[in-house]
Amino acid sequence: MPRFVLASASPARLTTLRNAGLDPEVVVSGVDEEQVVGLAPAALAQRLAEMKCDAVAPSIDAGVPVLGCDSVLELDGEALGKPGVPEVARERWRAMRGRTGVLHTGHCLRIAGTEQVATATASTVVHFADLDDAEIDAYVATGEPLQVAGAFTLDSLGGAFVTGIEGDPHNVVGVSLPLLRDLCAAVGVRWTDLWVR
């Protein structure tokens, strides 16, 4: 039986959790992230995290913690998810360069087969470098920004384009470890018991 299930296809979330001592089983939710509209950025991230968790938890053995997460970048009050195509990523970076955004990650932790659930959103301020057009084109050409919230990473090629953050750096990668520890406590799971020895 798995000790922990991650209801997310994000390789960065999986790597972050593994580096923190967990060994999650990945079960992708299949939730269509485009179906939720009309919510403020933080609320959108939280709702999508809950939908992912709720989609996966019924298929998991009772007693296993299931984590759903979703991230969006807020810029000028707008929620920016995954750009998907180079044209959108390029446009996003032209709007973001030299500016500051807020990366919101919604978290939903549910103990499968029970009513135990804890939810919260972590928000981290992100300061972007003032990239020139050639740098933007080169970054977009790598493909990295196409499938990540806000069209950037902190832990890979995009890290050079983030001049500073205020808050939890893990949250920018896709899962806030301090927040997740608190959510575990809220549903009666000791964080250190999840470590794989």
Per DSSP, what are the bridge partners of residue 186?
Answer: none
Residue 191: CB atoms within 10 A of its CB come to 17
C-alpha to C-alpha distance for 93 and 162, rounded to whole angstroms: 12
Q: How much is the CA Rg of the chain, to the nearest whole Å?
A: 17
Coil vs helix vs strand at 20? coil
Task: List the catalytic residue out of 54, 70, 76, 193.
Answer: 70
168 a catalytic residue: no
Tell me how far CA of residue 173 lies from CA of 1, 35, 38, 109, 151, in angstroms: 27, 23, 25, 18, 12
C-alpha to C-alpha distance for 33 and 111, rounded to whole angstroms: 23
List the catalytic residues.
70
